[in-house]
Structure 1
């Protein structure tokens, strides 16, 4: 059945999605609701690229997203997470615009604009909301305002506008100062744009997601990552626990640390991938 809305909110099983993220608050399109939804989604649905390693395509239609992220309680990366989230915001009456960003991760070199995020307009003000950036992702929306800083959990985020580049830059504070996460413009992007970007990210040999497992989870007091077989926990005082994970440990770790359960068949296949 064809959706009548840009983000497919009219086709979303809203109650199932809200139950998945554990949100029981107000459903009116207010800033309080937006904050609650962002925080709940971010805490509940892990960032992961496991289907690529398992030889499956990344499907972005809403039915597939609901099956994977809601029913199967899996995670996903930016397109999957933010498209599902956008459908929920749309269904609840928020004014949602898709945006695209170039990841920086502390560097200024130009990377392709392949990260998806969202802008929401509320009472004449714009807010950035993004539940799909992984380990250092925002935990709540951030006002689109030059120089803004916000404490979210034990982490600090900021936005600056680079006039010369014509770009907004999302930053987070590290122990040695500000660290650029990504730069974005405010040109409107559509779900079909994300479909094109998704093809590159999920299939190109230079994509960071086609050759190794990337699983991440940002929480108010802990950032956890599993990249390849290297598992890292980072705490607000910047102390880190780093260790290499044995292949047979991976399924259990995904479940307990990242909230990502796997079927027996998928668990067996993923272990086999990492035994090669």
Structure 2
């Protein structure tokens, strides 16, 4: 069980085929994928590759779903408007789906495409990509790591649009890590395009070496990346390591969300 480590934020615009009883969505950096569903009607959301889904607090309450390879089968139980997160298993692409459900009838099949099926849109898409550089969560994580560890400020690669976010630098409640094995303290936070990255130092406060696990972290995040070459570093007693928490809301709000940051 694990959630995403380093992620790429991928956004999309929509288009439709005439004469087809399904929605088509174009994968492209820029904006979230907007998907409409109907309460009580099963929606098939088809990705261009096998994906995994991040756990959401509304799972089982506002909808029921199953994920089989590259297709999500979701049936809304009530009206809702939520952001769902998926990641390509092989490509590591991040699909951000802004999904809403209402009583309005909609197509029951939605296909997400990597390449545009309308050749006339291809040139326009390339032009738009050159007009505006998109800052991804990976950019934010790299920027945070360089800001904290670069031996000289001149070595920090500039990222357009990134701003520092004020965050109180005090030790978090021990319940932040299930079992209280690790003590956590924020060191800095940055944001761009509604995505936040927060550097948090976590220290092993037990008397024995412990494997750190994202499954024990409280809150809701897009990803958590340790400053190490492994997703599950082992820290000795009193040893500390920096971790980068990526979220779509300020860190202290995300950290108060119920549950732990893991998916089956």
Q: What's the TM-score, normalizing by structure 1?
A: 0.26
Q: What's the TM-score, normalizing by structure 2?
A: 0.27
Question: As a proportion of its length, which structure holds more strand?
Answer: 2
Larger Rg: 2
